[in-house]
Amino acid sequence: MENGLSILTVEDNPSDLFLLEHMIRASGLSLRHLYSTDRIREAYALLEAKEIDLVLLDLTLPDSFGIHSFIYLKPVVQKIPVIILTGLSDTNVALEAIKEGAQDYLVKGELTESLLAKAIQYSLERKRTLEHLRVSNERFNTVVKATNDAIWDWDLVTNNVFMVGDTYKQLFGYDWVDSDIPQDHWESILHPDDRARVLEKQAATIREGAVSKWEDEYRLRKRNGEYAHVHDRGYIMYSAEHRPVRMIGAIQDITLRKRAEEIVLKELAIQQRLKQQQITEVVLGAQERERFELGQELHDNINQILATCRLYLDVAIEEREPRLELLIKSRSNISMAIEEIRRLSKELITPSLNDLGLVQSIQELVRNIQMVGKMKIRLAISGLDENGLLPEQKINVYRIIQEQLNNILKHAEAHSVMIELTKEEEQIRLLVVDDGKGFDPKMRRDGVGISNIISRAELYNGKVDIDSAPGKGCRLEVILNSKALPTQA
C-alpha cells in the first residue's frame, strides 16, 4: 500500500457505482487501482488474481443475495477488510456480515466523502490489528504445543483460571480445553502434603508484590488418581497502582525426571552403604591385625623377657651362685619389659592432645621415630591455631601422620622424610614426602594404611592425593576442612 490502495467495488447499480467511485477519488485517499464488478463470481476471481487491499461489497447482486454474498467471498478475504454497502432496510443483514468477519457497513443514502474515507482507513487499521493478533495467536499456540507445558491464565480480579490449548488434558486427563476451570479445581488436586506449602508460598509472592515471578514444585493428582510431579511457574502482572491483576503461567510434568533422580539417589545410597561396609571391613581387619601383632609382640618379646627374669629369680631364691649377678640381670630384664610395654602403649593409646597439644604430640612422635636412627625427618608446621580445632580433628590429623610414618617405616626403605602441616583460612593441608622405593598407587595392596588415611580424610569432607611410582618415593597430600563436622555413616 506504499504506492496507494487497490480497491474493489462490487456493485450492480450503475448510478450507485458512479457516485461511490467519485467519492473514493475525491476522498483524498492515495489510489493505485480501482477495480469494479457487478458479479460475485467475478469479484472472487479478481480477489484471487489481483493484489487488492479493500473490498466495498453490495449484498444484493444478480448472482448472489444477502449474507450469502459475503460468505461466498470469505475464503479469499481472510486478510482483506470488507465494508458492506447496504440500504436502510438491510442493516440487520449487514450486522450479520460483520459477525461473520466483515469490518464495517455503510448505508448508501448516508454516504459522504469524509465518512467513506474514515471507514476505509479504520477498516484497514482494524484488519491489520486483527491480522497481527491472529499471527500472534498462531505463534502462541505453536509455542504451547512445542513446550508440552499446560499454559494457564489466571484473572486475579475475578479469580477465573483459563486453560490454553489441550495440553492440560493430555498431561493430566481433565477435559478443559481452551476453557475456564472450576475455581476450586487446582487446590483440590494438590497433594495433601504439598497443599499448605504451595498455597502459602504463592499467596505470599502475590501479596508482597516484590517480585513478578512465582515458581514451585509439587505433586498434582491426575484424573486417573495417580500423582504427577510438576514444576509450575507464573508471571504476575500489576496495574498502574501496583495491584496484582493477572498471572500467566505454565505447568510442566517432571515425573520422569523425579523418578530418575530417585533412582540415582537410591544408587548413591547403595554405593554409600557398600563403601561403608568396605570401610568397616578394613577397620575390623586393621583391628584384627593390631591384635595379632600385639599378641605376637607380647608372646615373642615381653613374655620371653619376663620368663627369663622369672628363671633368674628362681635361681636367686634358691641361693645359687652367682646370686647378685642374677638379680642385676632380672632388674635389667624387668626394665626392658617396662620399656617394651610403654612402646606398645604409645602405639595403641591416643595421646592426650588436650594436655600436650597437637604440635607437641607430632614433635614427640617424630623424635621417637628418629631415635631408631633409620631415617631423617624434617617437620615444618605453620599457621596452625589449635584452639580452632575440635579434639576429634586433632586426633585425626595426628593419626594420619602416624599412619603414614608407619607405612614409610614398614615398606618404603626411605632415608629422609619431609612433613609440612599448614592451615590457610578453613583448610588444613598436610604434605608427607619420602625418598623411599615408592609403589604403583593403582595396584591393589594388602595393607590398610592408605585406606585408613582416606577414610579419616573423608570423615571431615577431605580429600587425599597420592603421587608415587616404583623407585620414585611417595608424595601424600591431605586436605581437610577445619569447619566440617564428622559425616555420619
CATH number for the domain spanning 183: value is 3.30.450.20
The dihedral over CA atoms of 135, 136, 139, 141, expressed in degrees to the nearest 10, equals: -110
Do 360 and 470 fall within a single domain? yes
Do 274 and 249 fall within a single domain? no
Q: According to the model, what pLDDT value does residue 335 have?
A: 79
More confident of the two residues 349 and 227:
227
CA–CA dist 55, 69 (Å, integer): 12
Do 274 and 343 fall within a single domain? yes
286-290 contacts at long range (C-beta below 8 A, 24 or more positions apart): 286/448, 286/452, 289/448, 290/348
Q: Which of 473, 387, 464 is nearest to 431 (CA)?
A: 464
Do 450 and 383 fall within a single domain? yes
Q: Contact, 105 vs 95, CB < 8 A?
A: yes
Per-residue confidence at 456, pLDDT binned at 50, 70, 90?
confident
Q: Please say which residue of 142, 172, 192 terminates a domain.
A: 142
In sequence order, the 6+-apart residues with CB closer than 8 A to the CB of 438 are: 412, 468, 469, 470, 471, 472, 473, 474
Q: According to the model, what pLDDT value does residue 489 have?
A: 42
- The DSSP bridge partners found for residue 475 are 433, 467
Do 263 and 323 fall within a single domain? yes
CA–CA dist 63, 69 (Å, integer): 9
Do 273 and 241 fall within a single domain? no
Distance of CA 436 to the CA centre of its chain: 47
More confident of the two residues 249 and 295:
249
8-17: pLDDT as tens digits: 999 999 999 9
CA angle 219, 224, 227 (to 5 degrees): 15
Average pLDDT over residues 263-277: 84
Q: Please say which residue of 121, 142, 163 terminates a domain.
A: 142
Q: According to the model, what pLDDT value does residue 215 have?
A: 94
Q: Which of 97, 101, 77 is nearest to 85 (CA)?
A: 97
Do 135 and 176 fall within a single domain? no
Q: According to the model, what pLDDT value does residue 284 have?
A: 59
Q: Contact, 165 vs 151, CB < 8 A?
A: yes
Do 463 and 372 fall within a single domain? yes
In sequence order, the 6+-apart residues with CB closer than 8 A to the CB of 393 are: 428, 460, 480, 482
382: CATH: 3.30.565.10
Per-residue confidence at 162, pLDDT binned at 50, 70, 90?
very high
> Domain span at residue 198?
148-253
Q: Contact, 374 vs 367, CB < 8 A?
A: no
Q: Which of 433, 329, 338, 333 is nearest to 379 (CA)?
A: 433
379-435: pLDDT as tens digits: 999 988 888 788 878 888 888 998 888 888 888 889 999 999 998 888 899 999 999
Q: Copy the grid coordinates of residue 302.
A: 615381653
More confident of the two residues 150 and 487:
150
**The pLDDT of residue 230 is above 50:** yes
304-330: pLDDT as tens digits: 677 677 766 777 777 656 677 777 777
Do 173 and 118 fall within a single domain? no
Q: According to the model, what pLDDT value does residue 32 have?
A: 92
Q: Best-predicted range by mean pLDDT among 106-120, 147-161, 185-199?
A: 185-199
Helices (H), 38-160: 40-49, 67-73, 91-100, 113-147
Distance of CA 43 to the CA centre of its chain: 60
Domain count, the chain: 4
Q: Copy the grid coordinates of residue 303.
A: 613374655
Residue 164 to residues 37, 177, 202, 255, 423, Cα–Cα distance (Å): 43, 7, 21, 22, 60
Do 460 and 357 fall within a single domain? yes
93: CATH: 3.40.50.2300
**The pLDDT of residue 152 is above 80:** yes
Q: Copy the grid coordinates of residue 199.
A: 498455597
CA–CA dist 337, 173 (Å, integer): 84
**The pLDDT of residue 221 is above 50:** yes
Q: Please say which residue of 201, 236, 253 terminates a domain.
A: 253
Do 102 and 175 fall within a single domain? no
What single-letter DSSP state applies at residue 409?
Answer: I
Direct distance between the N- and C-terminal alpha carbons of the chain, in angstroms, rounded to an integer: 78
Q: Which of 376, 370, 367, 303 is nearest to 340 (CA)?
A: 303
Q: Copy the grid coordinates of residue 398.
A: 595426628
- Average pLDDT of the chain, as a whole number: 84
Q: According to the model, what pLDDT value does residue 287 have?
A: 66
What single-letter DSSP state applies at residue 300?
Answer: I
Distance of CA 328 to the CA centre of its chain: 78
Do 361 and 446 fall within a single domain? yes
**The pLDDT of residue 375 is above 80:** yes
Taking residue 203's Cβ as centre, other Cβ atoms within 10 Å add up to: 11
Q: According to the model, what pLDDT value does residue 447 have?
A: 57
